[in-house]
Structure formats: structure tokens, C-alpha cells
Amino acid sequence: MSTAALPVLTAADFASDQDVRWCPGCGDYSILAQMKKVMPTLGVPREKVVFVSGIGCSSRFPYYMNTYGIHSIHGRAPAVATGIKTCRPDLQVWVITGDGDGLSIGGNHLMHAIRRNMDLNIVLFNNRIYGLTKGQYSPTSPLGQRTKSTPMGVIDNPLHPLSIAIGAEATFVARSIDTHIQHLGMVLKRAAEHEGTAFIEVYQNCNVFNDGAWDYATDRAMKAETTIELEHGKPLIFGKNKDKGIRLNGMEPEIVELGKGITEDDLLFHDEKCAEPSLAYLLSRMRYEDGFPEPIGVFRSVQAPLYDKLMNEQIELAIQQKGPGDLDKLFNAGDTWVVE
Amino acid sequence: MLATEKEINVLEEATVRFCGDSGDGMQLAGTQFTNTSALQGNDIATFPDFPAEIRAPRGTKAGVSGFQIHFSSREIFTPGDTVDALVAMNPAALATNLSDLRDGGILICDDAEFEKKGLEQAGYKTNPLEDGSLSKFKLHRVNITKLTRLSVEGLGLGTKEADRCRNFFAMGLVFWLYDRSLEPTLRFITDKFGKRPEVAQANERALKAGYNYGETVEGMSTQYQVQKAVLKPGKYRNIMGNQATAYGLIAAARLSKKRLFMGAYPITPASDVLHELSVFKHFDVLTFQAEDEIAAMTATIGAAFAGEFAVTASSGPGIALKGEGMGLAVMTELPMLIINVQRGGPSTGLPTKTEQADLFQAVLGRNGECPMPVIAARSPGDCFDSVLEAWRIAVEYMTPVMLLTDGYIANGSEPWPIPKAAELPRVTVTHPGPLVNGNGHANGHANGSADDPDGYGEKSKFLPYLRDQKLARPWAVPGTVGLEHRIGGLEKQDITGNVNYEAENHQHMVNTRAQKVANVADSIPLQEVNGPTSGDLLVVSWGGTYGACATAVQKAQSAGKAVAHAHLRYLNPFPKNLGDLLKSYKKVLVPELNMGQLNLLLRGKYLVDCIGYNKVQGKPFSVGELVSKIYELVG
Ligand code: SF4
């Protein structure tokens, strides 16, 4: 196989022949577009890529990618992906999930896939609603939200995807926004390049059942004040005029204004490589509703042993120690006797 | 008194049961006796019976654990209805097991345990060893506890540790009683306790002390012998059902040049399959202990999609959780095995007891029209062959296959004629090759040409649901250029595999999936019967009740009754001749350890008025009860 012969692929090469059936204006389109754009830049041939999903609007994603794919059952995509990846570490495996699929019915699988740290890329489209079943509240819907199944308002506390991922020992955690296309592309690429489970939350607008859920983070006029772009080694600065920052006061983050005696050096510096996950966790807890800008970008990117690799290494080691399995030896092991 | 003065009595067969507290090491005693008897050339059948609690309070009836061994100089199929010799390590064990000891049977009790507290726990008002209630048995009161302690004196063991050797003393005594060699157990002791020489020595001493006690004590006047069985010539070993299942999986994967992936979640009585496989990593075996049954199932689907030999094993409650995943497996038409080691249900039911009440679940228990081939193993050793056969069906028809075993055959053991790997059936797996710029035989179909590889008029496209004559679709593996495709649980168009909700298409696909599974009947043997091909009565059985049913029918046949036996391995689809067969007898009896599940399936399919014989008591059929039922029907 000569690498010179490899064709140069474009985004169009990753589009399948199926009509995309999301509602017009759905945030999913932009995520699909970014994915198709990023794929050719990864240097992985199409036949080596597998998209796995569960059930929900986002989970239709694999049908639209001209790669291998499974549209599995509700919540189980991480487990299906685990089977694929452990058998075939050579494949690049993506899991596409949503807030209901990943955090409600599939919460257990998501947590365990993350803690095993296989080389998977998990993208959770967070639209804070059940879209495919037409508008029930999801585990990320805010308290008080009125939906079809909560006419008097949501009364269970929402989950925060990144906090869950960090709690499950994720080695790569990031957040982006459907409309922030360059940023989204960057995050997808970095996730793909990360060795280990990469978990990405994408704020995705469901314009039919939960339109505007992320307006505060996407609105041109507001987003400089309501979001903060994380950059490794840089201080946390935000605001239209880049005049505000996040400072740590003990264990509490606080918003401070630069100038008036406060310099960049007083601010919290982002360290995505920090072995200790508390900083990433603290960032994942910064919420717009509590008056903070919400961080986007890579929260955490550290190295840890990979389950798929370890599993296959154990097999190699066993073969080294015992020699490749021999069926006749296996059958004849232990006490045997001969009947004449 | 000298050993030579003892009487020797040669028996055709005997059944021994060790029972005691679950901490008394009865499973170990039974296993050692089994292996020794097998090595001595007897045919054997075993029945381990243990409580669901890991350690119920000591001395209680709930904590009693037992192990029964039937060993014989002729071919046998069951662990025996009644027991010839019973070892009861405490009053609770006696109370719960005595009813199975035959009149005149040998009863060995540890005298030391029959004191106030133990008797009370077992519900005895008076000491049965003294109140004359055991007069119809040959009772041997042996102070096993004291004699064991004496035998290990000087090794520096505490009382607790010394008492742990009691099972070895009991074994030694029974080994003497049935003239068994101590060698295999001595070897076992060295292997197992070699790292703790004082424990090894203590067990060895206790074992020999028990043996010598039998030889010297006056009360034991007769020694019994059971000669070698006339088995088919060849090399044998002892094998347990779950072990045979694991070996079958390893062999089937190896013979079809596949890696073996097992997704599993711990559950009694299936966990031993996972344990067995996890030590054979050098056979390229990947064992994935999943976070739950659903993940075990769906990871198995992932592994099948990735192109490997994928299997999951569980028991009833776990299989229930896998139901939705199995639907996806049926829809995606990928080959894989789902093994159900059945136990007593419903719900958590009787985890350590046997039952065969998951047949409906296997054949019918999924949403939608969701057909899946189902086969069942009939004995411990047969688990091996059943796995090979299940895998053949899975690959040839591109379908998940359910294999049913049960707690009884999973934990039971029998002599196994050791197969030669080179002579085992081999399943050849073919995956379609690469398709570059429309060139290549995507589906590799015989009716294709260079221009039109699939014979479907589409040159440049891989068609994941284009079927062969058996209706199997191609197994395209990720990594193959040009075969990129998407599958999933939504209804799909035939041939292209694209999502499709049209009315006719759904009907067509439901019919096609059903026909594909029905086609399996073309590749399985016709149902055989043991006995006359028509007559008064046909006994139809399936799964782990084979031994009891076969033995009962043989007995009735020797008594001159026109009775035949058909034991089904294939439960979906049934063998093609089954309907005609059922109609060739005046009566059909279907004994099952459930309330009539096969019976209903047979009635539904063949409109035959089958008679059920049903029992759900967590234990296998006795031969006696089946013989009585047969006589009742044929007079
Ligand atoms: S329902 Fe919402 S999430 Fe689903 S496709 Fe429509 S807009 Fe997108």
C-alpha cells in the first residue's frame, strides 16, 4: 500500500446518498457540516471510520455520513461502540448522542464508556429537550421549564453533561456551539486527535420544540458577555472589550474587572493538562443562570491508559506467556483416561 | 481388626451425596469424588445443589449445600433418583437431605455436630442419631470433627483451620467405602495448597485418616466396588456444562478464524462461562465485563458488526434485559450467539436452581415479529457441540442464535470423549471484498458478472441487504474499502438497507426475516426417535431433561412398552418431520421443567393434543416419576 495513492478527500466524500431529514433550521445541520469538513483533515480513510448512535434526532447522524455506521437503540451507542472498538482498535469510532439518549436512558453506558477511556469520540448534542418524541423535558432542561410533559414546570434538577463526564474520569472534555462553526470544527478535530475517550457537549438549537434555549450563548450582542473561550495557558478573559476576567477566591470563581489594580496575572489561568480534574470541574459549574459566562473550548485533555489497548495487550501478553492457543492442548488438559 | 477381613460387595452402580453447611466444602468433596470416579473408568453424572446465599447463617437449613454423584459400570444419563450413601455434616443437612436416602442406605453423620444448638437449628426436638428414627438406614455415627482435629495435631493449626479439613476426612471415608484411589485428590491437594504446606499436609492427613478409619473401624464391615463402565473406546475427560460451552466458543471461533468477543455481566448460573473464557486470552479471546446486561448485549452487537465471533451469556433476568438488543440483532441481521443458562424464575426466582421456563422468552419474547433460531443443549458435554452448531446457523443465515442450557447441565458434569480439533466441523466465514470505483464483487453473488457484480444491475454500490439463496445478507466488515454502509433498528428497504417505512416493504421484510429463520430447517437433521417409529406413546423432551427422559423411556421399553423418545435440539425452527412424527403415535407426552411451554408451541404449530408432564421445583426430573407417568399413559 503506497500512501501516495491515497485519494485526497473532501467534505462531499463524506456525505452519504441519503436525504437529511432534520427539521429545516435545526442545529444538527451545522454539526453535520462541520463533521464532514473535519473528516478529510484527519488522515483517516473513510472505510476506517464508524459512526454509532442511539435514538433521537441527533442519532440519525450516521445515516448521513458515508462511512460505516450503526443507528442502534436508545442510549446504548457507547456500549455498541465499546464492542467495535475493543475488537478493532484500528477503527476510528464516533458516538453521536443527545441529552436524553446519553444522559437519561443511556446514562450508565455513557459513564462507563468514559471511565474506560477507550479511544472513542463522543459528541453529545444538547438541545435540552426530547425532539423526536415531540417536546418532553430532558435531563438538561432547566428547572421550571414548561414542556409537554411538564405543564406546570420542570421540578427535577438538571444534569450538566461536562460535570458528569469529569466525574466519570474523562480524559478529554470540551464544549462548543452549533452556530460557532469554526470553533466547533476545532473542537471536533482536537477530540479526534485525542488518544482516549473524548467527550464533547455541543449546544444545539432545536428550533421546533425548544427554540432559543441557547440564545444567550449565541446571540451576537450577548455572547461576548455570556461565554468565555478557553485557551490552554491563557487567563480567563471575556467581555466585549476583553475587560473582564475570572479570578479564584478560595474555591469560588468570581468575575472581576481588569484595571483598577487587577491585572491578568491575578486571573485564573486555564490549564487543560492539569492532572487534577477539579479546575475543569469548577469551569463546568460556571453557569449563565448564576451570572457567569459559560466556558467553551477544551476543558481538559490529559493522557491515561486506553481500555481497548490494554485489553489487546493482555491478549498479546498471554500469547507470549502461554504460546498461541492450541485446541487439542485445551481439550486434553487436566486428568484424562483412555477407554480401550 | 484387619482390612482383609472386610467383605467386598461389587455393585453395578451407586449414588453418593455429600451435604453440609455451605462452608463445609461439600462442592469440593463432590468434585473430587467425581473426578476420581471418572478416572477410575466409571460413567458419571453429577448434581451440585447449593443455596443462593453465599453464607447463610451456619448450621441453618437455608445454608445447606449438597453434591450428588451417580457412578456406574454401565452408561448412565442422570445423577440418580435416590441416594445409596449420604454424608451429612450437620443436623440441618440431615434434615434437608434424608428423604432422598433409600431404605437400607448408608448414612454417615458427624456426631460432634448433633448437639443442642445444631439440632434446634435443624428443627429436631430429639437427637435423630439416638431416638431410633433412623433405624431403617445403616447409620454410622462418626465424630468427624474430633477425628479430623486429632489427625492434624502438631501442624500448628487453630481449631477453625483444623475444622476446615473435615470435608477431607469425610471424603477419605467415602473413598474407602467405594474403593476409590486417593491419588487424584492427593495430587489436587499439592496443586491447590502447595503454597501453604501446613494446610496441604493437614488436608492430606485428614483424607488419609478418613480412609484409614473406614479400613479399621469395626462398624464399617463392607466395602463396595463399582467396576469400569463400557464406554465407547477413546480418550475421555470430565467436563462441566459451562466449561463445555466455553470450550465450544473457543473452538468455534478458532475454527472459523475469528477472534472471540464475549460481552457479559455477572449472573448465576452463567458467570462461569465468563470466568472460563477469561483465562484463555491466548486464544485471542476478548472478555468484556459490561456495566449491565444491556451493555453486554449491545457490545456484542458491536463486535459482530466489527466482524468478530460475538457472544453474550446470561440467565433469565439478564436475557430479559437483552430483549431490545436482540431485536436490533435480528433487524441488523448480524451473526452472534446469545446463551441463556436457565434458572428458576420469574424475576430473580431461584438463582441457583434449575428450570426450563425460558423457552417462550427465547422463541417469542421480543417486541414485534422477531424470529430467532433457538437450540438447546441436552447434557454437559453436549453444550460443546451445541455451540458449534449454533455458530454454524448464525453464520450461514446471518442471524443471532439463542442457545439454551440450564443450571443443571451447566454445573453438572459427565465424561467427555475428547474431540480432535482437526475433525471438528469448521464454519467458513466469507466477507465481501473491497469495491473500488465500482470494481469488485461487492456481495460476491454467484449470479454477478464483472460489470454487474451482484447481478442486480447496480455496478458501483454495495448493497447490504442483497440476499443469497438462503436469504442471508453479506457480512461486510468495517475497514473494507467501498463497502461503507449504515445499518440500524429502523425498518429498512430490502437490498439497499435504506430506512423505509412503506407498508408493503414492512410486510415484505417481516416475511423475509421469518422465511430466513424458517430456512434453517433445510440445514438441520430430521428429528430422530429412539424406539418404534409409531406406537402407543412418544415422549418429546428438550434441553437438560434428556437424561431422565431417555432413561425412563429405556425402562419402559425394557418392560415391553411401545414407547419412543424424541429429544429436540432444534426449538426454532423445528425439524421438518416433527409434525408427521407427532401424528404417528397414539399419545404424545411432553415432560418439561416448566408449566408446558414446548407443549403449547407443539400444539399451536401441529394441532396435536400433547399431554404435559410439568414440574417447577428447582430440581430435575427423577426417572421414577417419568416412568410412572409413562405407565399411566400406556397402561
Ligand atoms: S425536532 Fe428539534 S432537534 Fe429534532 S430535528 Fe427538529 S429541530 Fe432538530
Fold of B3-226: Pyruvate-ferredoxin Oxidoreductase; domain 3 (3.40.920)
Domain that holds residue A182: 7-213+305-313
Establish whether the linkage from the previous residue to B269 is cis, with ω within 30° of 0: yes
* Interface predicted TM-score (ipTM): 0.97
What is the CATH architecture assignment of B535-634? 3-Layer(aba) Sandwich (3.40)
Secondary structure (3-state) at B139? strand
Question: Please, where in chain B does CATH 3.40.50.920 lie?
Answer: 535-634
Residue B94 is predicted with a pLDDT of 97
C-alpha cell at A245: 476576567
In sequence order, the 6+-apart residues with CB closer than 8 A to the CB of B315 are B267, B268, B269, B270, B340, B341, B342, B343, B351, B407
Beta strands in B373-516 (DSSP E): 374-376, 400-406, 413-417, 486-488
Cell 454454524, residue located: B392
Q: How far is the CA of A136 from the centre of ligand 1 (A)?
A: 12
Question: Please, where in chain B does CATH 3.40.920.10 lie?
Answer: 3-226
Instruction: Give the minimum alpha-carbon distance from A262 to chain B in angstroms, rounded to a whole number.
Output: 49
Nearest beta carbon to residue B298 from set A55, A73, A327 = A73
Cell 439478564, residue located: B318
Pairing of strands B585-592, B400-406: unpaired
* CB-based contact B418 A332, cutoff 8 Å: yes
For A265, which DSSP code?
Answer: G
Instruction: Give the minimum alpha-carbon distance from A116 to chain B in angstroms, rounded to a whole number.
Output: 11
CA atoms within 13 A on the CB side of A188: 29
Residue B261 is predicted with a pLDDT of 98
Full-model pTM: 0.93
- Nearest residue on chain B to A18, judged by CA atoms? B498
- The residues of chain B scoring below 70 in pLDDT are 1-4, 437-460
* CB-based contact B479 A47, cutoff 8 Å: yes
Q: How far is the CA of A61 from the centre of ligand 1 (A)?
A: 12
**Strand partners of residue B341:** B405
Instruction: Give the minimum alpha-carbon distance from B306 to chain A in angstroms, rounded to a whole number.
Output: 5
Q: How far is the CA of A143 from the centre of ligand 1 (A)?
A: 21
Question: Please, where in chain B does CATH 3.40.50.970 lie?
Answer: 237-423
- Nearest residue on chain A to B491, judged by CA atoms? A71
Fold of B237-423: Rossmann fold (3.40.50)
CA-closest residue to ligand 1 atom 3? A206
Q: Could you give the CA distance from residue A219 to residue A226 in angstroms, rounded to a whole number?
A: 9
Residue A131 is predicted with a pLDDT of 93
Q: Could you give the CA distance from residue A34 to residue A204 in angstroms, rounded to a whole number?
A: 13
Instruction: Determine contact: B238 vs chain A, CB below 8 A.
Output: yes
Residue B445 is predicted with a pLDDT of 47
Q: Could you give the CA distance from residue A31 to residue B190 in angstroms, rounded to a whole number?
A: 64
* CB-based contact A83 B490, cutoff 8 Å: no
Residue B458 is predicted with a pLDDT of 53
Instruction: Determine contact: B3 vs chain A, CB below 8 A.
Output: no
To the nearest 10°, report the CA torsion of B31, B34, B40, B45.
-150
Strand order across the B234-240 sheet = A336-339, B234-240, B413-417
Strand order across the A244-249 sheet = A237-238, A244-249, A252-257
Residue A152 is predicted with a pLDDT of 98
Residue A335 is predicted with a pLDDT of 87
Q: Could you give the CA distance from residue B102 to residue B82 in angstroms, rounded to a whole number?
A: 6
* CB-based contact B301 A323, cutoff 8 Å: no
Residue B454 is predicted with a pLDDT of 52
Residue A203, ligand 1, Cβ within 6 A = no
Secondary structure (3-state) at B129? coil
Beta strands in B525-602 (DSSP E): 535-542, 563-568, 570-572, 585-592
CA atoms within 13 A on the CB side of A161: 32
- Nearest residue on chain B to A317, judged by CA atoms? B282
* CB-based contact A335 B184, cutoff 8 Å: yes
End-to-end CA distance of chain A: 56
Residue A3 is predicted with a pLDDT of 47
CA-closest residue to ligand 1 atom 6? A23
Cell 446514562, residue located: A107
* CB-based contact B254 A323, cutoff 8 Å: no
CA atoms within 13 A on the CB side of B513: 24
- Nearest residue on chain B to A325, judged by CA atoms? B283
Q: Does residue A98 lie in a domain region?
A: yes
B337-390 per-position pLDDT tens digit: 999 999 999 999 999 999 999 999 999 999 999 999 999 999 999 999 999 999
Q: Could you give the CA distance from residue A155 to residue A138 in angstroms, rounded to a whole number?
A: 12
Cell 457480512, residue located: B475
CA distances from A89 to A196, A200, A307, A312, B296 (A): 11, 21, 10, 9, 18
Q: How far is the CA of A25 from the centre of ligand 1 (A)?
A: 8
CB B130 within 8 A of CB B109: no
C-alpha cell at B308: 468478530
Q: Does residue A45 lie in a domain region?
A: yes
Q: Does residue A75 lie in a domain region?
A: yes
In this structure, what CATH number is given to the domain that contains residue A42? 3.40.50.970
CB B326 within 8 A of CB B395: no
Give the count of domains, chain A: 1
Q: How far is the CA of A52 from the centre of ligand 1 (A)?
A: 19
* CB-based contact A327 B233, cutoff 8 Å: no
pLDDT along chain A (340 residues), means of 10: 63 93 96 97 96 97 97 98 98 98 98 98 98 95 97 97 98 98 98 98 97 96 96 97 96 94 96 97 96 98 97 97 97 90
Q: Number of Cβ pairs closer than 8 Å across A and B?
A: 208
Establish whether the linkage from the previous residue to B573 is cis, with ω within 30° of 0: yes
